[in-house]
Structure 1
Amino acid sequence: MTLHAAFAFFIAVYLLGLTPGPGVFAVIARGLGQGFWRTLPFIVGILFGNITWLTLTVFGLAAIATVLGPLFLGVKIAGGLYLAWMGLKMWRKRVTDSDIDAADEGLEQSLFRRWLSGYALTLGNPKPILFYLSVLPNLLSLDALAHGAVLAAAPIAAAGIACALIPYCLMASRLRAVLRSARARRRLNRTAGAMLMGAGAAVVAT
């Protein structure tokens, strides 16, 4: 892979991550409701999901999608419903002045579950699928990638998505830190919950 091709690929993937969609809205909602560090594993899951689609594109996504189409559909629906369920929990969460500084126990998840939710969201999101099918062949030689260059393309894709999503998460988490009153936090939770439910509905509907 030439330096020029690698830079063009990075910019294209960065713009993919920057464009508003279910992934962006879910990251913002989690940043608002849970803060930066608890959202980071979710973002890492999104990165792994993009690497998965990149790899499947290189090694014959069309054929794989034909065989495993029902599986991908099930992952998409499950991921969308899970996001909607998380949004509903966030919407209904009660906040008082005494627990502003406490952990969000109702939203606490293991690192793996947070990673898995981001991964499942990306597998069910049509935006990266369409991107890697339509844009990737015009930027990089799939024959070259299939012979090992995919190992170089994967970290470039991950870096591009991370550079797009992490600022979203940071801004959302800083807004969360500013709103310290119980009333403001309730409104924040409902805003984040609505965004998560909307992202879940978008995943299922597309």
Structure 2
Amino acid sequence: MTIAIADMLLYAGALIILFMTPGPVWVALLARSLSGGFQAAWPLAIGVAVGDIVWPLVAVMGVAWLVSAFAGFMTVLQWVAVIVFVIMGLALIRDADHALSANSRLTRPGMWAGFVAGLAVIIGNPKAALFYMGILPGFFDLSVVTATDMVAICSLSFFVPLVGNLVLAASVDKVRGLLKSPIAVRRMNLTAGWLLIGVGAVIALG
């Protein structure tokens, strides 16, 4: 494997920060947990995690080809990663007071409906592809990426959000109050926003 452990840890940290950002998946997990308990929520978490494998895989393959075809493209993509993180961070800080709203398509009952909803919320979002296309070159040298490296990247992309979502679903009684409190939502968004900007700074200085 050509990927350094430090780069893997930084990437895992970025995934954790992204998980900390409240969004539609959080709302769907909480809604499903409240209505049907952990049994109703875990299929959605699995669907989200599976989707989180697809986009990194597509991004790694596509960006690796571009890097091999155009000299110097890697440097450009690294700065794209910096810009993506900073913009995401600033957007979170700007909209820190925005409350979350439920999406009925993500809260339909049933195990299969939960899995499909989790998969759809990731696969059906073109911003996810752009996000991974933008950030992966900031963490890894895709010009020398190997099959083992791709397995490692996809494994992190799968397990980090899966563990986070399962813990969230299992802890719904304690966490649900966070989404009802405007102050708590603001604090989470501000924290996640500054952390994302920090990750961008680390990439820029690395």
Query: What is the TM-score when the length of structure 2 is the normalising length?
Result: 0.57
| Residue matched to 2:119 | 119
Q: How does 1:39-50 map to 2 (within 5 A)?
A: 39-50=41-52
Long gaps (5+) in structure 1: 64-82, 90-106, 177-206
Shift of 1:126: 5.0
* Correspondence for 1:35 among 37, 49, 56: 37
Change (3 A) 1:20 1:130: farther
Assess if the C-alpha contact under 8 Å between 1:16 and 1:128 holds in 2. no
User: CA contact under 8 A between 2:30 and 2:172: conserved in structure 1?
Assistant: yes
CA offset digits 1:7-42 (Å, max 9, x no partner): 111111111222112222222221222211221111
Q: How many residues align?
A: 136
Partner Cα separation in structure 1 for residue 41 and residue 52 of structure 2: 17
Aligned letter for 1:124? G
Residue number in structure 2 paired with 1:186: none
- Structure with the bigger RCO (C-alpha within 8 Å, sep 6+) is 1
AA aligned to 1:141 is D
Distance in 2 of aligned mates of 1:50 and 1:85 = 19
Map residues 93-172 of structure 1 onto 2, 5 A cutoff.
Answer: 107=109, 109=110, 111-126=111-126, 128-145=128-145, 147-172=147-172
Percentage of pairs with the same residue: 24
Q: Is the 8 A contact 2:28 2:106 kept in 1?
A: no
* 2:6 aligns with one of 4, 7, 28: 4
Instruction: Please state if 1:55 is matched with 2:57.
Output: yes
SS of 2:144's equivalent in the other structure is: helix
Under a length normalisation based on structure 1, what TM-score does the superposition of the two structures give?
Answer: 0.57
Equivalent residue, structure 2, for 1:84: 104
RMSD over aligned CA atoms reads 2.6
Deviation at 1:112, TM superposition (A): 3.5
Structure 2 residue matching 1:145: 3-state secondary structure: coil
Amino acid at match of 2:37: G
Equivalent residue letter for 2:5? L
